[in-house]
Structure 1
Amino acid sequence: MRRAVFPGTFDPITLGHVDIIKRALPLFDEIIIAIGVNADKKTMFSLEERIQFIKSTFKGATKITVKSYSGLTANFCILEDAQFIVRGLRNTTDLNYEQPIAQTNYKMAAVESIFLICSPEVSNISSTIVRDVMRNDGDYSSLVPSSVIS
């Protein structure tokens, strides 16, 4: 079974995340959307809200599982018997950030990282930008799935 982990904070899930997940689905038997929990990181949405956003977005998608974890992604992959990590790249800055992490994950857990280039129409979206728009009462409806819109 080809199992992949798509890790992130998903605070909140964006249409960029959705793009990568939908495009990765044909490649794997299962994708675990893994919400990383970092006690030192202040999030806008609770873990429960983020789980619900993702579950609602992918309701009926039998190849998607949503889980949370703390600690190293490599260790989570070992625990879940996942052979792959899926990451989306918006630009070269993302690649430069992700490359050493991927190399370390491979060294620690023999897990391969698969990079998918974001579709052009969502390559400008990040959770950080979405949170900023939300905090300043801007229209974020074109940046997130409908499950996030309150």
Structure 2
Amino acid sequence: MTVVRVVCPGSFDPVTLGHVDVVRRAAALFDEVVVAVGTNPSKSQLFTPDERLDLLRRTVGEIDGVRVEGFSGLLVTWCAEQGVTAVVKGLRGAKDYDYEEPMAHMNAHLTGLDTVLLPTDPRWSFVSSSLVKEVARGGGDVSALVPPVVLDALRARL
């Protein structure tokens, strides 16, 4: 029997309930889901890579078939090394699709890596890590948008 291993990549700074939902749904569809934490140099990071790995492990690490790893460099190279057969990404709307489609085509062009796009649950369609950070920095309540461990980390950091 072949194990279908997929990756849910992102910077997860911080992880939101939208991220958790996509990981749970991917875990229900595939044998193994690797949540891969990368660093995006174009984004300012609130949490270090190690802190983000820890928050993710504490948030999604107990889901059957899910593991959390860090990576650097090209995602397609890392996926080939890990035996990953597809990328799974959540889509909040057309803007996300416009961002993800060229990356999906490039990944397929480089190594044949497929991309699966999951429409986001409408409850999380407006949630992004950037927006959560902005609201939290301004003193707004983000408790309904992030896991409790992330809320504690945000409060401690900000």
* TM-score (normalised: structure 2): 0.90
1:103 to 102, 105, 108: 105
- Could you tell which deviates more after superposition, 42-51 or 123-132? 42-51
Residue identity in the other structure for 1:61: I
Residue identity in the other structure for 1:141: S
In the other structure, the counterpart of 2:79 is 77
Once the two structures are superposed, what CA deviation does each residue of 1:35-79 show, in whole Å capped at 9, x if it has no partner? 012456430011121111111112422311111111111111111
Check the 8 A contact 2:61/2:67 in 1, yes or no.
no
For residues 114 and 97 of structure 1, the distance between their equivalents in structure 2, rounded to whole angstroms, comes to 14
For residues 62 and 22 of structure 2, the distance between their equivalents in structure 1, rounded to whole angstroms, comes to 18
Query: RCO higher in 1 or 2 (8 Å CA, sep ≥ 6)?
Result: 1
**CA spacing shift, 1:89–1:75, aligned 2, 3 Å:** same
In the other structure, the counterpart of 2:45 is 43
Percent of aligned pairs with the same amino acid: 38
1:7 partnered with 2:6: no
For residues 62 and 13 of structure 2, the distance between their equivalents in structure 1, rounded to whole angstroms, comes to 22
What is the SS of the residue equivalent to 2:118?
strand
Aligned length: 150
Listed as ranges, the gaps of 5+ residues in structure 1 are none
In the other structure, the counterpart of 1:31 is 33
1:146 shift after superposition = 1.3
The Cα RMSD (Å) is 1.2
- Could you tell which deviates more after superposition, 21-30 or 5-14? 21-30
What is the SS of the residue equivalent to 1:149?
helix
* TM-score (normalised: structure 1): 0.95
**CA spacing shift, 1:78–1:118, aligned 2, 3 Å:** same
For residues 63 and 76 of structure 2, the distance between their equivalents in structure 1, rounded to whole angstroms, comes to 25
2:22 to 20, 35, 55: 20
What is the SS of the residue equivalent to 2:141?
coil
Listed as ranges, the gaps of 5+ residues in structure 2 are 153-158
